[in-house]
Amino acid sequence: MAEKSGPPRDKVCGGLLSKVCLDLMVGIFGSGPPREAIQDPGKLGVFVVPPSGMENGFKVPGEELLNVKRRELDAWLAESAERHGAELLRDCETVAFRESGRAVKVLLNTKNGAAAVTARFLIGADGIYSKIREKISRRSVDQRVIYAQEYHPRSGNLEDCFYMMYRGDMSPTYSYLIPKGDRLCLGVGILSARPPRMREGMGRLKDWLAQDCGVKVKDPVHLEGYSAPFGNIHFGSGNVFLVGDAAGLGNPLTGEGIGYAIGSAEAASRAILGGAEDPVSAYTVEMKRLGDELESLVRGTLAMDDEERERRVAARKQRSLSSNSRAGPGPTGTP
């Protein structure tokens, strides 16, 4: 494993883990994240808010997310991989690769200068700006969503919940609020080809929160932003796998990506260890259903107006409250 910064390293993130994601971690490493990676409040419910406002929102019955500190989580994941036998090259950047027959030659930029490694397969797990993905299949700027996050002192009449808020003039994907210690993390998803711009979307989210929940927002304590996938999924070719954000695995309506990253990496490993004649094709076949589902969510997101958002949240609320059901890898509140 070659990681260009650290680990540990910082990653802009909401830091919420679904039950499916936690189960994957426990299945692979035998335990969930350690105490030092848990953010107060450690457990959050899921509250879904339609365009008409909080009064028509609902808390998803039985749904719970783990609230984590991303830096500490990723440090633990890296250490766990090492404990299970992985060799981790810290501060080591993958610069280029070349395939030749049944091998891949990878050029690395290490602390001690340039180096090369030849391997049977390369797994591109290098995130939304993946150089490996770029060489196989480029994606355009409109195939990314930018999440802007502002941190404010905690205030207002709010439960310990992840608030998923849907209204087109704040975000064409979704907006959210996450309690983080004595702060609130406010986020909006922005698309390059659609209004609103970041400042407008965030401004409207703050107005909405002030009005509906008495949240007091002045100047943010901290501001940050980073991109996540928005469709155009590719699982790799030849001897090269793509997993996680490099593959394009992100949920446009919940922002979830960590579980997909771990799940796809596990599927890629299984394809190699299973001894298939063409492991990249076997992996692509296994991942197709999830890829199709996420692509369909992206198309649905682009086609949605507020009337449709309202209708979907109301229908989800009805179903949720009557059946108390669980569905899919993301929060069950996903409209």
Binding site for ligand FAD (CB under 6 A): 2-5, 9, 11-16, 93-94, 125-127, 131, 147, 149, 226, 228, 244-246, 250, 255-259, 261
- Whole-number minimum distance, CB 193 to ligand FAD, in Å? 18
- Whole-number minimum distance, CB 245 to ligand FAD, in Å? 4
- Whole-number minimum distance, CB 13 to ligand FAD, in Å? 4
- Whole-number minimum distance, CB 34 to ligand FAD, in Å? 18
Q: Are 28 and 262 in contact (CB under 8 A)?
A: yes
Token representation of residue 326: 């669980």
> 2 or 158, CB closer to ligand FAD?
2
> 81 or 210, CB closer to ligand FAD?
81
Sequence-distant contacts of 310-317: CB under 8 A, at least 24 apart: 310/50, 310/51, 310/52, 310/56, 313/48, 313/49, 313/50, 313/56, 313/57, 313/58, 313/166, 314/50, 314/56, 316/48, 317/48, 317/56, 317/57, 317/58
- Whole-number minimum distance, CB 285 to ligand FAD, in Å? 21
State the Cα angle at 228 between 238 and 152, rounded to 5°: 160
> 54 or 242, CB closer to ligand FAD?
242
Query: Exposed/middle/buried for 292, CB within 10 Å: 0-12, 13-18, 19+?
Result: exposed
Q: Are 250 and 189 in contact (CB under 8 A)?
A: no
> 34 or 214, CB closer to ligand FAD?
34
d(CA 39, CA 223) in angstroms, rounded, equals: 19
Residues with Cβ within 8 Å of 196's Cβ and at least 6 positions away in sequence, in order, are: 169, 170, 171, 190, 204
- Whole-number minimum distance, CB 304 to ligand FAD, in Å? 20
- Whole-number minimum distance, CB 131 to ligand FAD, in Å? 5
> 12 or 136, CB closer to ligand FAD?
12
> 11 or 105, CB closer to ligand FAD?
11
Alpha helices in the chain (DSSP H): 19-29, 70-83, 131-136, 198-213, 244-247, 258-273, 279-303, 306-323
The residue nearest ligand FAD at its CB is 257
> 244 or 279, CB closer to ligand FAD?
244
